[in-house]
Amino acid sequence: MDFEKSILCIGAGYVGGPTMVVIANKCPQYRVTVVDINQDKVDAWNSENIPIYEPGLDKLVKKVRDKNLFFSTEIDKGIKAADIIFVSVNTPTKNYGQGAGKAADLQYWERTARQILANSGRDKIIVEKSTLPVRTAEAMGRILHETENGVRFEVLSNPEFLAEGTAIKDLENPDRVLIGSKDTESGIKARKEIVEIYANWVPMDRIIESNVWSAELSKLTANAFLAQRISSINSISALCEKTEADIDEVAYAIGTDSRIGPKFLKSSVGFGGSCFKKDILNLVYICQNYGLDEVADYWESVVKINEWQERRFVRNMLLNMFNTVAGKRIALLGFAFKANTGDTRESPAITITRELFEEHAEVVVSDPKALENARIDLKDVEDSIIFEDDPYKASEGAHAIAILTEWELYKDLDYGRIIKGMVQPAFIFDGRNILDHKGLFSMGFNVFAIGKAPLTHI
Ligand code: NAD
Ligand code: UGA
């Protein structure tokens, strides 16, 4: 079959993989190829065991793989054949040199740009899918226009807003798709080509067009605003614990104001995930570079409150368990940074496990999807941590349980059975406020939730 367009995505990760799976499903008329330098990852995409757990993803991959969707490590070949190249490589926080700890590490992205340049014999549209500092497209343009052979590249920004665990839903039914280009004739023409792809399934009123810098900056700003809401509600949770106000009641009361809205007001042990912290620190770094120190400090405080919330959770455990957890078995239920994913990047569970371990607790980590990643995150202390699939076994003989991820299954556990196997007095720390606290208290648990007055028998 002849395809209308040949689309390439460089980077077969959490974003590149699912995004291209959805494009291939919605647009059978396009040939979609996803390439990556990681052979194991590409092999996994081509196998029964795809490398990412996302509800609904498996089924969609099977529908289109080897029909109009292909996974490969042949990057040069892919570039040569492509009309449109989405770049979705990782952009982690730089951990060396200038800007270490804050700036985005753009080495993967730059390497990709040079590889595109070396393998392009005709004009192409390059789409930034990765989250990048504002004005990256300018640097990209400079690298790509070093060519003498007359090949023209149009660099666009089309940031991705999907959240893990709901990636397919978010991609199939996005709040909006944002496409930024230069305001030149060729820039606008390229932008229309990308609009055309999404218009196959996204209503036109949800496709936003903007200049390229606005698109780049909107992505960082969206993540900063989302994370800011969590830090805001978490900061108030600490005040609730002091005053007997209830954080869920406060969140509900303020969220019913249509100007505030109800989403992203769930108080928790802290936000995790690969992007919030990285993107905010990147924003902080950019502001500092432009001499906007007050703006930088404002956004940095969102990350600081989050780190404080994680540490506060452990401090609360210690304080309430008679100031020591040494030698005590503590079952951590949930290790993923949120429910419905096996991803543990920047999960608050990592800090909490390590802090409890340093306090000489016997830590048992349980999670339905994330134990493999948990072992990697805790590699250096792996031998001293117990990993247990079964939450009942994890809780057996424990002094305390802490809920760190809001998996549905933890709501429905038989806590009457669990408390019988625990050391008394039994403690439960609900870091996600998902349990029936009064019910647990009446079973005999001492219950500590985020932003709520403790329910204790001692
Ligand atoms: P990821 O680490 O899961 O995937 C990136 C992939 O790029 C890896 O498989 C890596 O091997 C590959 N890669 C790196 N350099 C390469 C090269 N030169 N050639 C070919 N492949 C290369 O990362 P991700 O979570 O998919 O994130 C990608 C970008 O999207 C980041 O900028 C991130 O901030 C952004 N983003 C992520 C999410 C999310 O939910 N994870 C959501 C929105 C945006
Ligand atoms: C987030 C954004 O929601 C996406 O729009 C964005 O594309 C993505 O980052 C990215 O750029 O990587 P994600 O990190 O996958 O998506 O997950 P979220 O649902 O945003 O949750 C992030 C963290 O905040 C999780 O640890 C979650 O448990 C926590 N959270 C979320 C709360 O503590 N309270 C809330 O009310 C909401």
- Residues 367-384 have a mean pLDDT of 96
Rounded CA gap, 235 and 11, in Å? Answer: 37
Question: Is the C-beta atom of 320 inside 6 A of ligand 1?
Answer: no
Dist. CA 335 → ligand 2 center (Å):
15
Token pair 């108080």 is found at: 267
pLDDT of residue 140: 85
Ligand 2 and 347: CB distance under 6 A = no
DSSP 414: -
Residue 406 has pLDDT above 80, yes or no: yes
d(CA 253, CA 385): 41
Give CA–CA dist 190/84, Å, rounded: 9
**Which active-site residues does the annotation give?**
275
**Nearest ligand 1 atom to alpha carbon 89:** 7
pLDDT at 139 over 90: no
pLDDT at 148 over 80: no
pLDDT score of 377: 98
Backbone φ and ψ for 128, nearest 5 degrees, come out as -75, 110
Mutate to test the pocket of ligand 1, among 40, 143, 216, 274 (most ligand atoms within 8 A of CB): 274
Q: Hey, whose CA ends up nearest to atom 9 of ligand 1? A: 13
Question: Per mean pLDDT, which range of 89-98, 280-289, 358-367 is the poorest?
Answer: 89-98
pLDDT for position 138:
87
Give 150-188 pLDDT, tens digit per residue: 899 999 999 999 999 899 999 999 999 999 999 999 999
Matching CATH topology for 5-202 and 242-458? yes
- Decide which of 3.30.70.2740, 3.40.50.720, 3.10.180.10, 3.30.70.1050 is the CATH code for 242-458: 3.40.50.720
| pLDDT score recorded for residue 358 | 97
pLDDT confidence of residue 144: 86
Distance CA 388, CA 393 (A): 7
Give the pLDDT band of residue 60 (cuts 50, 70, 90): very high
Give Cα 207 to chain centroid, integer Å.
23
Q: What is the pLDDT of residues 319-347, one digit of tens each?
A: 999 999 999 999 999 999 999 888 999 99
State the pLDDT confidence band at 430, using cuts at 50, 70 and 90: very high
The structural domains of the chain, with segments of one domain joined by +, span: 5-202, 242-458
- Residue 440's H or E segment, with its range, is helix 437-443
CATH code: domain 5-202 is 3.40.50.720
Expressed in angstroms and rounded, the spacing between residue 109 Cα and the centre of ligand 1 is 10
Say what the pLDDT of residue 397 is. Answer: 98
Check pocket membership of 265 for ligand 2, CB cut-off 6 A: yes
Quote the ligand 1 centre to 270 CA distance (angstroms).
23
